[in-house]
Amino acid sequence: MKKEIFIAGGCFWGVEAYFSRVLGIEKAESFYINGGFEGVTYKEVCTTTKHAEAVKIIYEDSQISEEIIWNLYLNIVDPYSLNKQGNDIGTQYRVGIYSNDEELLDKYKKLNSQFVKKENKNNFLEFLPVYDQTKAEEYHQKYLEKNPLGYCHINLYSIPKELLKEEYKKNIN
């Protein structure tokens, strides 16, 4: 069954590029979410709103599990950093998982509870419904494909080979 979540993990360029390479992820697109209204622009997000930069991920749960997505997510974020990932600082760079599917959101909350228990440390991850969403401007979509030297705090080569889509395996030794 197709499922949809929004993942916030700092700048959405790297999160989108990372998850778009993973088997079972059908689509990854950059959005602004949960700022109180729709129709927001990048300039507004950077200066006057409370929106998060997030990536809408559509996946097939028969091909990839929530546990794998969760572990990949933890591979690219610092859950203990408040409103900061890499060199990016501000509320738009907060970390969290968002969905209007309450059962799905509960799965991710449970995975976080297990993680917190294992690490014996609380984190700043949000787990909330999606209150509003605006697709980011076209120049933000697939940004790192269009700008391969663009800044990214995420190691795009840290995806295990068995989880990579075929077109990305050719770049791995």
Q: Which of 5, 7, 8, 11 is the catalytic position?
A: 11
- 10 Å CB burial of residue 78 (0-12, 13-18, 19+) is middle
Q: Is 11 a catalytic residue?
A: yes
> Would you give the distance in Å from CA 173 to the centre of its chain?
26
- Cβ(132)–Cβ(37) under 8 Å? yes
Q: At a CB cut-off of 8 Å and minimum separation 6, what does 20 contact? A: 27, 28, 142
Catalytically active residues are 11
